[in-house]
Amino acid sequence: MSEYDDTNRGQIWPNDKKDTDKHPDFKGSINVEGQEYWVSAWKRKEGANPKAPSLSFSIQKKEAQQPRQPTPTPTTAPLDDGFDDIPF
Q: Residue 70 — very low, low, confident or very high, per pLDDT cuts 50/70/90?
A: low
pLDDT tens track for 10-54: 999 999 999 998 999 999 999 999 999 999 999 998 899 989 999
* Rounded CA separation 6/31 (Å): 7
**Helical H segments across the chain, by residue range:** none
Domains of the chain, residue spans: 9-61
What are the angstrom distances between the C-alpha of 60 and each of 6, 30, 50, 57?
18, 10, 27, 10
Biggest alpha carbon–alpha carbon distance for the chain: 80
Contact 33, 7 (CB under 8 A): yes
pLDDT tens track for 55-64: 999 999 998 6
